[in-house]
Amino acid sequence: MSRGKTKIAIIGAGFVGSSTAFAMALNQLASEIVLIDVNKEKAYGEAMDISHGLCFVGQMAVYSGDYSDIKDCDVIVITAGLNRKPGETRIDLAKKNMGIAKDITDNIMKHYNGGVILVVANPVDVQTYMISKWSGLPSGRVFGSGTVLDSARFRYALGEKVGVDIKNIHGYIIGEHGDTQFPAWSATHVAGIQIDEYMKITGRTFTAEEKISLAEDVKKSGAMIIKNKGATFYAIAITINTIVETLVKDHKTIRTVSSVMNGTYGLHGVALSVPSIINGKGVQEIIEFPLSPSELAAMQYSAEQLKLILKEVENA
């Protein structure tokens, strides 16, 4: 995106949406940030609270608005949705949030005249697929935050394990953002050295059981945060901020975002996360990493489980 002024809309002024707006304001990521929520008073209050601190960070406009403000946005971030309740299945949540997502999509498209749609609300893979379908936008123009945060958690856990600066660790959680996600161990490196080889040459051990345990801890870390503080919003806000920075600055960054599969790993009719190059227009290219046979099987299983949810949602 090369426009001199950047406009971002955030739909949903809850914990995630408001924290995202705050992170973007601190980073001066846009000329305008508009918060849109069915609770107009909440959106107004959040925008006002952020605006009162702008004199210390820089000049920009942070305000609440409605769907007519979607016009001329470079990025539209969707965070609005219901949270999963105790005892509620993922399919139950998906069905409830699909109605919200459909309404949001319809309202966006009434005023849409360009820009990328970034889906954050859960279940993010299902919503990404359906919003891509409903919007009718070109491939890659709609994508989800996917497993970008999961991958960050994975790198953090690996840094703790090997005692190395997280900046020197590259690793990816791929597949569903949820129960069937898994780490691509074959593409996990420390300072450019494959993780198993790095552990070997540094005289350390990393057993298969330890790998399984670490991956489970990463998968459950969001639930652990919710158990302790009630919700997760700081890390996802930073994650969204990072993704949007790539979009508005056209950085061509590789992130494990969720997008509709059109043949990658032989998959069709589903959205899930794989390393992808994102630029100012959205997902520029999906990278088909050479996965191990077990990882390919895990990818297929993840896609199958997501398709089951999509089937339930589409037939609801």
Residue positions annotated with a catalytic role: 177
Q: Which amino acid is at 76?
A: I
Angle between helices 293-314 and 90-111 (to 10 degrees): 70
Interatomic CA distance for residues 133 and 130, integer angstroms: 5
Beta strands at 193-194 and 268-273: parallel, antiparallel or unpaired: unpaired
Contact (CB, 8 A) for 97 and 106? no
- Residues sharing a CB contact under 8 Å with residue 88, sequence separation 6 or more, in sequence order: none
E strands of 84-186, at which residues? 116-119, 142-144, 169-170, 173-174, 182-183
